[in-house]
Amino acid sequence: MDPHTTAREGRSCADCHQDSRAVGLGQGSLVLGPGGWDFVSSLAPSNEKLGIDHPLDAFVDIKGRPLVHVSRKGLRPFNRGELVRILNVGICLPCHKDFKDPVMKNWDPECGQSPCRHCPVEIR
């Protein structure tokens, strides 16, 4: 998981909403298909020597299932609904770059429809 930065300024919207590492999936490719979001890791899918069946950099899978245990109270990966909402916002960022844009202000990412008439994708 790569949620933080040590820079004085905050991360850009795309740094979180379009980055699989920032949401805890690890390094790889996000794909939005007919069945919703899918993720393909760039790393080996498992490590038999360590007894795990997921890539070493994954904190959660695309279905929102936690892959690691943490000892810090209150720390948890995003669940499926949170992942979908975060990634859905990322679809519109190439054209609608910040939250001041009227499209972003009036959009509910859970509704399954982009508020932008130019978006060809039905989002889930």
Q: Is residue 36 part of a domain?
A: yes
* Strand ranges inside 55-99, DSSP E: none
Q: Which domain holds residue 94?
A: 13-105
71: confidence class by pLDDT, cuts 50, 70, 90: confident
What's the predicted TM-score (pTM) here? Answer: 0.78
- Residue 69 C-beta-side C-alpha neighbours within 13 Å: 2
Residue 51 domain-assigned? yes
Question: How many domains does the structure of the chain reveal?
Answer: 1
User: Does the residue 32 lie in any domain?
Assistant: yes
Domain-located, residue 120: no
Model confidence over 14-36: pLDDT tens digits? 888 889 999 999 999 999 888 88
On whether residue 94 sits in a domain, the answer given is yes
Residue-wise pLDDT tens digits, 78-113: 999 899 888 888 888 888 877 788 777 777 766 666
Assess if residue 18 is contained within a domain. Answer: yes
Domain presence at residue 6: no
26: left (phi over 0), alpha (psi -120 to 50) or beta: left
